[in-house]
Amino acid sequence: MAAALTTKAILTANDVRNGDIVFWTADQRWSTSIDDAAIGYGKDDTDQLADAGKQAEAANTVVGAYLIALRPEETTARVPVKMREVRRLAGPSIEFAQAA
Amino acid sequence: MYQYDDHDQSFVEARADEFRNQVERRLAGQLSEDEFKPLRLQNGLYLQLHAYMLRVAIPYGELSSAQLRKLGYIADTYDKGYGHFTTRQNIQFNWPKLVDTPDILDHLAGVQMHAIQTSGNCIRNVTSDPFAGVAADEFIDPRPISELMRQWSMLHPEFAFLPRKFKFAVTGAADDRAAIKFHDIGIWAKVDDAGAPVFDVYVGGGQGRTPRVAKLFESAVPLPELMPLLDAMLRVYNLHGRRDNKYKARIKILVEELGLENYRDEVKAEVAGIDRAPFATVEAEYARIKDAFEEGTPGMTPGEPIDLGAADPAFSGWVKTNVAAHRVPGWAIAQISVKPKGGIPGDVTGEQMRALADLADTFSQGELRITHRQNVVFPYVKATDLLALYQGLAAVGLGEDNIGEASDIIACPGLDYCALATARSIPVAQELSSMLRDREAKDELGSISLNISGCINACGHHHAANIGILGLNKAEKESYQITLGGRSDENAAVGDILGPGFAQADVPGAVSKIIDTYLDLRTSTQERFPDTYARVGKEPFKEAVYVGA
Ligand code: SF4
């Protein structure tokens, strides 16, 4: 579990049962859509997100929970700072891997 | 090929049952991820960038058609319709659900397969020559000793938690097609004057962030001494390997830090005191396994070679690149490229797996091999069947005639799948493959190895390639470093870094200039890329790529 970030971040993990990438939402559930992801601004918010990740891991609903730091320029867009996260969100750059 | 006996079969079935129980406990919340992770890794189940990934062992790359058909079934039923052949002759499925993995392991056990020790700090799948048992240049079939080592290392209680993963490769031929000098321990099987098997043992090779070519530890080790020696080599490593630093934990670092002579002395002392009782059956067991392979080898009546004089040029071109000499006259080793123009190295669809299985039944006695170059080999093809095989392959899009050419690219999954990656490998491989296929149609490039890794761990064997490409993350942008002059054969060498890295879009142009330089400088079409490079050095290539840019 990554340390809480103080800027702008969302919480992600993988679903334990099927491995799907999931995001923590404002209404306290996991969604497979990044558009649903609750954005934390500043330390208090992101600490809360990090706690939600720890609790979900302890409850064995998700695995590998961590915060994704987002570009701070825009207040609502969910664009990761790190290339790794951009690629993870985009999925494999291979057509048939994205089908099914 | 080797067939499981009752003991082997009940072992893999029991292991699948055990994992089903572990998954049930995980899903019921009785096991935390911290508790479950070592259990899933011991069964080849990773958590990657997007999803779980299951790596299935293909011991020394050998598969039956029934096994490949089952892998195709798994790809279609539990994954997204494809699998990925790896550089260690295994197969990976990129999208299995945890809930489905117990069923997948049951299916695998049903065809004498498993995913044990495809992950973790243990002895991994033993790799070998994909031409084992049929190569014209073979001294001795490397499969019996590979299988004996598989059985010895399977759940070996002393070697389940080594300082780091441990990789063996074995060859038994004049040409090293198993890259033994890039393994923790490489074994070169030969025969002595009396015809008995003997083994040259190399130690301390590997790739990753500290690439090293293995050093000769001892030559001509007789069979009864080999297993105690390997046991002792592992014990000394287990005792002194750097558990405090995973970047220094491989045996190559230990051998370097201790010095080969000191390491050898410690191993010899260990061998001298080793309990011989567990090894009392080695020779009998080797003989049993060897007999099992021989029984599984089809009778091959020598025949006539084919005459390509009047053959269709597409077919004769395929024979020239893709067919290798067989030990029995009139028979052929057919190499099937799964690297079409613009394709993804190592990726094979479930449909292609079934087609390959059917063709192997018709033309290769139901047996095939996966190569560390991520292709497929049919070991038992009658020369007179080659045309029909070629036509069958071409009909399912597998008739590419580029084995050993530059477009026969090795690529690891990279940042399209791998949680450790620093850059993508696959799109780079696809672009290069398109560019190189066009060039191969025009120029006689000859045999060139081009390998791509998506991070310094080097699963794509870039260090060992004539042209190596390493994907890095430079200020959150993908950057590709090029190395030249590496080779993985009996003259193994680590490639030299050419200079600063390139953006993805500039990689094909840089590789094209490297190839132009080679074509200009080679003394003849017979002079291969690494030989030209060894003769002229890095400078002309550097100048072409950076100064001429
Ligand atoms: S080389 Fe790196 S990116 Fe490629 S498969 Fe290995 S760990 Fe992953």
Q: Is B453 in the pocket of ligand 1 (CB under 6 A)?
A: yes
Domain ranges of chain A: 8-90
3-state DSSP call for residue B258? Answer: helix
Amino acid at B324: A
Tens digit of pLDDT for each residue in B411-433? 999 999 999 999 999 999 999 99
Chain A residues close to B421, C-beta within 8 Å: 84
Chain B residues close to A14, C-beta within 8 Å: 47, 51-52
Mutation target vs A (from B27, B95, B480; most A CBs, 10 A cutoff): B95
DSSP E strand boundaries for B284-366: 323-325, 331-336, 347-349
Rounded CA-CA distance B414/B462 in Å is 12
How far, CA to CA in Å, does B1 sit from each of B290, B380, B502? Answer: 10, 12, 45
pLDDT class of A72 with cuts at 50, 70, 90: confident
Q: Is B454 in the pocket of ligand 1 (CB under 6 A)?
A: yes
**How much is the pLDDT for B18?**
98
ipTM score for this prediction: 0.92
> How far does CA A13 lie from the centroid of its chain?
6
**How much is the pLDDT for B57?**
97
Chain A residues close to B51, C-beta within 8 Å: 14, 18-21
**B371 alpha carbon to ligand 1 midpoint, in Å?**
18
Tens digit of pLDDT for each residue in B247-295? 999 999 999 999 999 999 999 999 999 999 999 999 999 999 999 999 8
**How much is the pLDDT for B1?**
87
Per-residue pLDDT for B71 more than 50?
A: yes
Mean pLDDT of B332-337: 98
Mean pLDDT, all residues of chain B: 96
Q: What residues contact residue B7 under an 8 Å CB cut-off, 6+ apart?
A: none
Burial class (CB in 10 A: 0-12, 13-18, 19+), B329: middle
**A and B: number of Cβ contacts within 8 A:** 82
pLDDT class of A100 with cuts at 50, 70, 90: very low
Per-residue pLDDT for B309 more than 70?
A: yes
Amino acid at B439: R
Nearest CB to B29: which of A60, A81, A87? A60
Mean pLDDT of B488-509: 96
Question: What does DSSP assign to residue B409?
Answer: -
Mean pLDDT of A80-99: 83
Per-residue pLDDT for B482 more than 80?
A: yes
**How much is the pLDDT for B307?**
82
Chain A within 8 Å of B424 (Cβ-Cβ)? Answer: yes
Spatial CA neighbour of B170 closest among B191, B194, B195, B200: B200
State the DSSP string of B349-401. Answer: EHHHHHHHHHHHHHHSTTEEEE-TTS-EEEEEEEGGGHHHHHHHHHHTT----
Nearest CB to B82: which of A14, A83, A96? A96
pLDDT class of B511 with cuts at 50, 70, 90: very high
Helices B282-295 & B223-240 angle (0-180, nearest 10)? 110
pLDDT class of A99 with cuts at 50, 70, 90: very low
Which tokens sit at A93? 């750059």
Spatial CA neighbour of B457 closest among B99, B87, B188: B87
Q: Classify B346 in phi/psi space as left (phi over 0), alpha (psi -120 to 50) or beta.
A: left
Per-residue pLDDT for B333 more than 90?
A: yes
Mean pLDDT of B301-308: 86
State the pTM of this model: 0.95
Interface of A with B in 66-95 (CB under 8 A): 81-84, 87-88, 91-94
Domains of chain B as residue ranges with CATH: 6-110 (3.90.480.20), 134-293 (3.30.413.10), 313-395 (3.30.70.3340), 410-546 (3.30.413.10)
**How much is the pLDDT for B311?**
83
Q: What residues contact residue B312 under an 8 Å CB cut-off, 6+ apart?
A: none
Per-residue pLDDT for A4 more than 70?
A: no
Spatial CA neighbour of B460 closest among B321, B344, B361, B545: B344
Q: What residues contact residue B381 under an 8 Å CB cut-off, 6+ apart?
A: B326, B331, B332, B333, B334, B363, B364, B389
A63 with B344: Cβ contact below 8 A: no
Rounded CA-CA distance B72/B356 in Å is 10
DSSP E strand boundaries for B155-309: 168-171, 185-191, 197-203, 215-222
Per-residue pLDDT for B47 more than 70?
A: yes
Angle at B467 between CA B466 and CA B473, to 5 degrees: 140
B97 with A17: Cβ contact below 8 A: yes
Burial class (CB in 10 A: 0-12, 13-18, 19+), B395: exposed
A20 with B476: Cβ contact below 8 A: no
Residue B464 near residue A69, CB atoms below 8 Å: no
Rounded CA-CA distance B512/A44 in Å is 53
Q: Diameter of chain B by CA atoms?
A: 69
DSSP E strand boundaries for B100-178: 127-128, 168-171
Rounded CA-CA distance B98/B100 in Å is 5
* Phi, psi of B228, rounded to the nearest 5 degrees: -60, -35
**How much is the pLDDT for B80?**
95
Per-residue pLDDT for A98 more than 90?
A: no
Rounded CA-CA distance B334/B346 in Å is 17
Tens digit of pLDDT for each residue in B164-212? 999 999 999 999 999 999 999 999 999 999 999 999 999 999 999 999 9
Chain A within 8 Å of B344 (Cβ-Cβ)? Answer: yes
**How much is the pLDDT for A74?**
67
Rounded CA-CA distance B518/B528 in Å is 9
Does A99 or A22 have the greater pLDDT score? Answer: A22
pLDDT class of A94 with cuts at 50, 70, 90: confident
Per-residue pLDDT for B392 more than 50?
A: yes
If one residue of B88, B182, B420, B422 were mutated to test the ligand 1 pocket, choosing by the most ligand atoms within 8 A of its CB, it would be B420
Angle at B93 between CA B88 and CA B99, to 5 degrees: 135
State the DSSP string of B27-91. Answer: HTTSS-HHHHHHHHHTTTEEE-SSSEEEEEP-GGGEEEHHHHHHHHHHHHHHSSSEEEE-TTS-E
**How much is the pLDDT for B105?**
98
Per-residue pLDDT for A97 more than 70?
A: no
Question: What does DSSP assign to residue B315?
Answer: H
Q: Report percent pLDDT > 90 for chain B.
A: 95
Mean pLDDT of A11-26: 98
